[in-house]
A = this chain, B = another copy of it.
């Protein structure tokens, strides 16, 4: 007896149908927004991932040495492969580059509710557009994907923030760039850590932890553009960086304007507490959350203008997001938003040995005319065949009867939902079927 590795999944047909339904909705929404699908290799050179995320990431990877002595890893995220693909053809790709993918990713983490070792992620990214309208388009796509499943502004919202506002805040408080990055990490993890822990970490950076923790909390408590402006004005070094502050406020206002033009303001919650864990974000960052109940995180993204350059390619402004399948699927299931995907078949063919030849010929005819068709492979009586037709959720049943007085070589077609029956000659069978299945 064999078992599945921890954190990996079998997709039996019913699970696979749910997975494919979710993929299908995503693909369709991507298409509506003019995004093109791409994919990269499941296995990549290890250095592709360590280059972007540092050696620390190796402990979370399915990495190994292949039989040719190469250090390789199963992809834990798409962004490095994407940056390689876009970067290496940056000069020939038609702009704007609006791409999406649906890919399976692999992380050696402790499996738990909502987190597996292999999972799917939908990534959508826009390269080559620095304008805030690209950020808004990215957020609009994220919202539209979630809406395509029947989720509404009552079910989820997008918390958003701007890394640049934090840069300004740090600068106005006399914090160095290196420390800024450490403090962002503290903020990112702060809801998982105790207050004392945060204070200790801030102290370690040579700050007065208690006071600075309070300043951070105050800044995060600002929930409107005006409140954020007010806070920044009140920082001690404000006068030295006035133009920076007005640029930051202008950017934020422009994003909100674009969101309003799209009519999506009901989905948005300004929340400076959202800073995103990954170091490579350079501007707006956003995360989608379940609005009530478990408040689970559904998706996250932001602007990352430096990545291709950091990886050795041409500089390309970029903004994008990722949705994971595990939490989303759980949420859709709980809300009853995955439709009935039971197997069904258009036609089930019932025959006895006398009509096998005709029946089998017709099965192929039906199928090549787009009518999904099945029959009992095992030779069995009519009663059992009718039971199989019911079990297969057949829309119509086709029963070969042989000659009845007025219809030579006649076939009975029964529509199962309303029990409507039509008796037809074999040469009118396909047409009858098509009418009953309309």
Contact = CB atoms under 8 A, between A and B. Distances in A.
Contact of A84 (B2, B62, B65): B2
- Report which residue of A8, A101, A367 has the largest number of chain B beta carbons within 10 angstroms of its beta carbon: A367
A278 to B, nearest CB: 19
Contacts of A368: 144, 147
Contacts of A16: 36-39, 101
A372 interface: yes
B5 A72 contact: yes
Interface string A15-37: 01101100000000001111011
Nearest to A80: B2
A343 B35 CA distance: 9
A32 B311 contact: no
A32 B96 contact: no
Contact of A34 (B68, B99, B258, B374): B374
A1 interface: yes
A226 interface: no
A5 B32 CA distance: 33
A14 to B, nearest CB: 9
A118 interface: yes
A204 interface: no
Given A360-B261, A377-B133, A36 B13 contact: yes
Contacts of A44: 2, 4-5, 8
Given A17-B37, A312-B1, A372-B32, A42 B360 contact: no
A392 B34 contact: yes
A264 interface: yes
B38 A377 contact: no
Contacts of A131: 377-379
A43 interface: yes
A43 B8 contact: yes
Contact of A94 (B68, B144, B391): B391
Interface in A359-389: 360-361, 363-364, 367-368, 370-374, 377-379
A38 B12 contact: yes
Contact of A85 (B10, B360, B361): B10
A3 B85 CA distance: 9
Contact of A137 (B13, B17, B377): B377
Contacts of A101: 16
A74 interface: yes
Interface in A60-92: 62, 64-68, 70, 72, 74, 80-81, 84-85, 88-89
B129 A42 contact: no
A280 interface: no
A345 interface: yes
A107 to B, nearest CB: 11
Nearest to A48: B2
A243 to B, nearest CB: 22
Contact of A118 (B9, B41, B311, B379): B41
19 contacts: A2-B44, A3-B45, A12-B89, A13-B36, A13-B38, A16-B38, A16-B101, A19-B39, A20-B37, A33-B372, A34-B374, A64-B64, A96-B378, A131-B377, A131-B378, A134-B377, A144-B364, A261-B356, A261-B360
**6 smallest beta-carbon distances between A and B, as pairs:** A64-B64, A13-B36, A261-B360, A8-B41, A34-B374, A11-B39
Interface of A: 1-6, 8-13, 16-17, 19-20, 31-34, 36-45, 47-48, 51, 59, 62, 64-68, 70, 72, 74, 80-81, 84-85, 88-89, 94, 96, 99, 101, 104, 106, 108, 118, 126, 129, 131, 133-134, 137, 140, 144, 147, 258, 261-264, 311-313, 343, 345, 356-357, 360-361, 363-364, 367-368, 370-374, 377-379, 391-392
